[in-house]
Amino acid sequence: DAKTTQPPSMDCAEGRAANLPCNHSTISGNEYVYWYRQIHSQGPQYIIHGLKNNETNEMASLIITEDRKSSTLILPHATLRDTAVYYCIVRVNNAGNMLTFGGGTRLMVKP
């Protein structure tokens, strides 16, 4: 799987939008962009994924650039409970394909 680059940490004010960037310049045409988050001492939680179109669900929005070399996860109204490590992963969509976790971005939502 292609590698991703994320900033190690970010702060966000409660109630504001949190925009988490991810670079994946070597992504292949059949690789999807996945986002997971891990709250301290819990298992990772699936957030969203996409191939090339922007995606939105009840948790977040995913914006993928036209060249697919980068993406941004947007939490529209961050709360204190969104404090977590956010992982951006690129992966071929296959049930047998594991996830390769990098360092992620530690998001701290502050009151």
Chain contacts with other proteins (rule: CB under 8 A): 34, 36, 38, 41-46, 49, 87, 93-104
53 vs 95, which CB is nearer to other proteins? 95
How near is the Cβ of 42 to other proteins at its closest, in Å?
6
Quote the least distance from Cβ 10 to other proteins, whole Å. Answer: 17
Radius of gyration of the chain (CA): 13
Read out DSSP for 87-107?
A: EEEEEE--TTPPP-----EEE
CB 57 within 8 A of CB 103: no
- Which is nearer to other proteins, 59 or 63 (by Cβ)? 59
Nearer to other proteins, 66 or 98 (CB): 98
Q: Are 71 and 88 in contact (CB under 8 A)?
A: yes
